[in-house]
A and B are shown apart, each in its own frame.
Chain A
Amino acid sequence: MSHSTESSNLIEEHFDPAASRRLSSLSFAVSAIGLLVSAYGLFASREQFAFSWLFGFVLVFTLCSGALFWTILHHATDSEWGILIRRQMENVASILPALAVFFLPLLLLCAPILWKWWDKAPGVDPLLDAKAAYLNHTFFSIRYVLFFVGLGGVATVLARRSIAQDEDGSAKHTYAMRNAAIVGLPVFGVCLTFAAVDWLMGLDYNWFSTMWGVYIFAGAAGSSMALLVLIVTGLKNAGYLKAVNLEHYHVMGKFMLTFTVFWAYIGYSQYMLIWYANIPEETIYFKIRNTESWHYLSTFLVAGRFFIPFPFLLFQSTKKKPKVLCGVAAWMILMQIVDIYVIVLPSLHQTGISPSIFDLASLAAVGGAAAGLYFRRLSASCLFPKRDPRLAGSVNLHN
Chain B
Amino acid sequence: MSESRKVYGLGAEFESAAALMAAAEKVRDTGFSHWDVHTPFPIHGMDKAMGLGKSNLSAFVFVGGFLGFVTGIALVAVPSLFLYPMIVHGKPYTWATLPAFFPIIFELTVLFSAFTAVGTMFAMNQLPRLHHPVFNWDQFKRFTDDGFLMVIEARDAKFSETRTKALLEEIGAKNVTLIHD
Interface string of B43-63 (1 = CB under 8 A from A): 111001000001000100010
- Knowing A272-B102, A276-B100, A316-B54, the reply to whether A2 touches B44 (Cβ < 8 A) is yes
Contacts of A278 in B (CB 8 A): 89-90
- Knowing A276-B89, A398-B45, the reply to whether A1 touches B18 (Cβ < 8 A) is yes
Indicate if the CB atoms of B99 and A275 lie closer than 8 Å.
yes
Contacts of A398 in B (CB 8 A): 44-45, 48
Q: Identify 6 residue pairs between A and B in the complex whose beta-carbon atoms are under 8 Å apart, listed by A's number.
A: A1-B44, A272-B99, A276-B100, A278-B90, A316-B58, A398-B45
Interface of A is mostly: helix
Q: Which 4 A-B pairs have the closest CB atoms?
A: A2-B45, A1-B45, A2-B44, A1-B44
Contacts of B45 in A (CB 8 A): 1-2, 398
8 Å CB contacts to B: which residues of A234-293? 268, 271-272, 275-276, 278
The answer to whether B17 has its CB under 8 Å from any CB of chain A is yes
Contacts of A268 in B (CB 8 A): 99, 102
Contacts of A276 in B (CB 8 A): 89, 91, 100
Interface string of A98-132 (1 = CB under 8 A from B): 00000000000000000000000000000000000
Interface of B is mostly: helix
Interface residues on B, range: 10 to 19
Q: Which A-chain residue is minimally distant from B45 (CB atoms)?
A: A2
Q: Which A-chain residue is minimally distant from B90 (CB atoms)?
A: A278
For residue B20, give the distance in angstroms from its CB to the closest CB of chain A: 10
For residue B41, give the distance in angstroms from its CB to the closest CB of chain A: 11
Interface string of B25-48 (1 = CB under 8 A from A): 000000000000000000111001
Contacts of B48 in A (CB 8 A): 398
- Give 12 A-B pairs besides A272-B100, A276-B89 with Cβ atoms closer than 8 angstroms: A1-B18, A2-B45, A3-B44, A268-B99, A268-B102, A272-B99, A272-B102, A275-B99, A276-B100, A278-B90, A316-B58, A398-B48
The answer to whether B21 has its CB under 8 Å from any CB of chain A is yes
Option from B43, B54, B89, B90 in Cβ contact (under 8 Å) with A1: B43
